[in-house]
């Protein structure tokens, strides 16, 4: 591959990553707006159900009849339970915390990945990774100080922990079964896991005026999964992660423009520390031999 071809591939991957990030934030904002009128479980169930319209055809096109052939069912179960649990906490917390706080705290997940990677998959963190974790946790404590921790701030930290478990499980399932099966199984499991919760919490058909927002939520969430996977097939994580961490700043802008929320200086500084820690963790991992 020539230098020009490599630069072109990286530029294309960066555009895909930016589009994926925009869709993720759009889905989060729509979930928050709809969550004011519908239960969190119902919003999440409809998100999974409608995202099938995007994920299923793409997965079948990628893997054909083997799309649901899995060799590590246990890994898929762990991924589904942790991923759905994290999403449910996020959707419920949207009604209790500013949007910038939600997104910034959710980016603490890579810090938990470092802490869990040793016992979970045998990847020991070195001294540099430990420094990144300390830096990131300092950012978390700026946003949610221990002296005034709120229940929903703690819930978002639990959400970040579950996201870390989901990330580690995804590493195993993608290696064994490929991205098509991993993505489709997750969406199908999400439908099955959230349907009972939606029914038990008073599921009702969305009003006609809200149908376009629900449809956009499902399509945005499904398309984000596909664009993210396509981006990482074209360029390494070390190149793309800085784009993803722009989500912390973008969420502050969305919160201000959509709901008139002004992030506090502590949230801005804490978010910057979390982003720096995440990028540092990625840099350390990229330099690790093997």
- Enumerate residues 6+ apart whose C-beta is below 8 A from 36: 95
**Residue 45 Cα distances to 38, 162, 196, 209, angstroms:** 11, 18, 9, 19
Question: Closest Cα to residue 44, out of 201, 153, 161?
Answer: 201
**Is there a domain that residue 281 lies in?**
yes
| pLDDT score of 147 | 62
Range(s) of the domain holding residue 255: 9-287
**Is there a domain that residue 210 lies in?**
yes
| pLDDT score of 23 | 94
C-alpha 84 chain-centroid distance = 11
**Is there a domain that residue 234 lies in?**
yes
| pLDDT score of 286 | 55
| pLDDT score of 68 | 84
Per the structure, the count of domains in the chain is 1
Q: How far apart, in whole angstroms, are the C-alpha atoms of residue 80 and residue 128?
A: 31
pLDDT lower than 70: segments of the chain: 1-7, 114, 117-127, 146-149, 236-242, 282-290
**Is there a domain that residue 204 lies in?**
yes
Buried b (16+ CB within 10 A) or exposed e, 2-28: eeeeeeeeeeebbebbbbbbbbbbbbb
Q: Are 102 and 28 in contact (CB under 8 A)?
A: yes
Q: How far apart, in whole angstroms, are the C-alpha atoms of residue 286 and residue 290?
A: 9
**Is there a domain that residue 2 lies in?**
no
Kindly report the number of other CB atoms within 10 A of residue 211's CB atom. 12
Q: Are 187 and 222 in contact (CB under 8 A)?
A: yes
| pLDDT score of 179 | 83
**Is there a domain that residue 111 lies in?**
yes
**Is there a domain that residue 49 lies in?**
yes
**Is there a domain that residue 4 lies in?**
no
């Amino acid at each position: 591959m020539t230098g020009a071809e490599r630069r072109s591939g990286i530029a294309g991957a960066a555009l895909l990553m930016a589009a994926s990030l925009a869709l993720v934030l759009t889905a989060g904002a729509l979930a928050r707006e709809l969550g004011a009128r519908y239960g969190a479980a119902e919003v999440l169930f409809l998100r999974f159900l409608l995202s099938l319209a995007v994920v299923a055809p793409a997965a079948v096109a990628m893997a054909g009849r083997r799309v649901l052939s899995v060799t590590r069912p246990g890994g898929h179960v762990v991924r589904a339970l942790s991923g759905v649990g994290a999403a449910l906490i996020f959707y419920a917390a949207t009604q209790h915390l500013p949007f910038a706080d939600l997104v910034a705290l959710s980016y603490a997940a890579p810090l938990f990945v470092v802490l869990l990677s040793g016992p979970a998959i045998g990847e020991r963190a070195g001294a540099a990774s430990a420094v990144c974790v300390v830096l990131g946790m300092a950012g978390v404590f700026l946003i949610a100080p221990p002296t005034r921790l709120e229940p929903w701030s703690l819930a978002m930290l639990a959400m970040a922990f579950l996201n870390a478990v989901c990330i580690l499980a995804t590493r195993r399932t993608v290696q064994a079964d490929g991205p098509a099966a991993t993505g489709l199984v997750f969406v199908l499991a999400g439908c099955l896991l959230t349907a009972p919760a939606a029914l038990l919490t008073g599921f009702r058909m969305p009003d006609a005026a809200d149908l376009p927002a629900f449809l956009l939520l499902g399509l945005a969430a499904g398309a984000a999964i596909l664009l993210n996977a396509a981006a990482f097939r074209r360029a390494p994580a070390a190149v793309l992660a800085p784009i993803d961490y722009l989500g912390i700043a973008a969420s502050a802008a969305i919160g201000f423009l959509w709901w008139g929320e002004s992030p506090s200086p502590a949230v801005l500084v804490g978010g910057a520390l979390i982003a720096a820690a995440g990028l540092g963790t990625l840099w350390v991992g990229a330099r690790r031999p093997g």
